[in-house]
Structure 1
Amino acid sequence: MSPTRSPKRFLARLVRDTARTLEPPTRPEAFLHALCATLSPRLDRPVRLRFLAFPPGLDVSGITLAKDDEYIVVVEKRAADAHKFVIAGHEIGHIHYGTLDVHYDVGLPAAARRLLDRSDEDIPWDRVVALATRSPAASAADAEWEAEECGLRLAAKFHKVVGPYAATGRRFSQDTLTDRLSSSLGNIGGP
């Protein structure tokens, strides 16, 4: 996948191709799993997605391990559904732009197996986070901005693919938006 491609076009095509494989309504986590399945054949290795509870005090809510034979994307399972789209999109952005380090020492296979196959409590988080480093070839600030743009663009599609109007294909109208905001605010000064 060429990192020079626009994240907007990349994600629009990926979301469109994924949505075609699903029957609405779709749960957010199911959509993200399907998104990774759609992405996998376009890459040099498959993308596995896992939702886990990250330990308290950990400063990240998503990580990606780039193994020689697969990418492992891990997203905080307690995050709000729309935020899961941001997190997963951010990690997919790192994959898209190639800002992941794929050279690990012998400790990765054991840590990756534990990450994928064990309960949250048995995961060696310090080891996993240390392994989820970004490529030294990429500027850290630039890599994070590019990845975050992918996360935000994917999150912008949340309501279209898993929201209440995904099954009907309808779009939000100004009246619908006004009604929802009014309802959320308890009809304060609204219609």
Structure 2
Amino acid sequence: MSERKHSRSPKRFLDRLVRDTARTLTPPTTPTAFLHALCATLSPQLDRPVRLKFVAFPPGLDVSGITLAREDDYIVVVEERAPDAHKFVIAGHEIGHIHYGTLDVHYPAGLPAAARRLLARADDDIPWERVVAMATRSPAATAAEAEWEAEECGLRLAAKFPKVVGPGAAGRMTQDTLTDRLSSSLGNIGGP
């Protein structure tokens, strides 16, 4: 097991990753910009860079995020129509699979072309069935523990959403935000 995967604590891993990412940004920042910066911060810690892509997934597809573990990079693909806080859950889940090493890189011939089309953003030309096949988890990921670990990463990252890009993030406190927080804290006394 490599040194980077030694820490099984998603809390420590994400606390450090979010802190290091926040240092690279000037608030306020958008959720997608923060997630791109998060991947850029993570990349030097891994054996290959992490690329983040927001794409509209087709109706009926049972996933909202996938990771393609190619030989030269990881491609994290997140449903672009998901609410911003949920994008953090999705991206965090996929980053969890990368962190814990529960991805596979063995593809049938021709599938890297599907990844290239996905990266080129020709949404109507993406062979989704092949892209999903590329996101096959390693045998270690079939264990429920691997999914729980990845999901914990997603939920922990989403918990940081309000602090890094939400209404309470540095540089985002406005009179409306303050009023909403006070109203919420007081149980919306006198409100609708």
State the TM-score, normalized to the length of structure 2: 0.88
For structure 1, the residue ranges without an aligned partner over 5 or more in a row are none
Task: Confirm or deny that 1:167 pairs with 2:180.
Answer: no
- Report if aligned partners of 2:140, 2:146 keep a CA contact under 8 Å in 1: no
Greater alpha carbon shift after TM alignment, 101-110 vs 76-85:
101-110
2:68 corresponds to which residue? 65
Give the aligned partner of residue 176 of structure 2: none
Query: Deviations for 1:60-95, whole angstroms, at most 9, x for unmatched residues?
Result: 000000001100000000000000000000000000
Taking only aligned residues, the RMSD between alpha carbons, in angstroms, comes to 2.3
**Could you tell me which residue of structure 2 aligns to residue 27 of structure 1?**
30
Report the alpha carbon displacement of residue 118 of structure 1 after superposing the two structures with TM.
2.9
Letter in 2 for 1:147: A
Note if 1:152 corresponds to 2:140: no
Deviations 1:136-191 (A, max 9, x none): 13443111111000000000000100012212498xxxx96451477989935xxx
Retained in 2: the 8 A contact 1:26–1:162? yes
Question: CA 1:184–1:124 in 2, change beyond 3 Å: closer, same or farther?
Answer: farther
CA gap 1:52/1:184 in 2 versus in 1, 3 angstroms: farther
- Alpha carbons of 1:148 and 1:131: their partners in 2 closer, same or farther (altered >3 Å)? same
> Do 2:141 and 2:147's aligned partners in 1 also have CA atoms closer than 8 Å?
no
Contact 2:28 2:172 in 1 (8 A): no
How far is 1:43 from its partner? 0.2
In 2: Cα distance, 1:117 partner to 1:72 partner: 12
Q: Distance in 1 between matches of 2:186 and 2:35?
A: 30
Task: Name the SS of the counterpart of 2:99 in structure 1.
Answer: helix
- Correspondence 1:5 to 2:8: yes
Q: CA deviation at 1:14?
A: 0.2
Q: 2:45 — aligned with what?
A: 42
User: Structure 1 residues 186, 150: closer, same or farther in 2, change over 3 A?
Assistant: farther
Q: In the TM superposition, what is the alpha-carbon distance from 1:20 to its structure 2 partner?
A: 0.3
CA distance in 2, matches of 1:119, 1:53: 11
Q: Measure, in 1, the Cα distance between the counterparts of 2:32 and 2:57.
A: 16
1:123 aligns with 2:126: yes
Normalised to the residue count of structure 1, the TM-score between the two structures is: 0.89
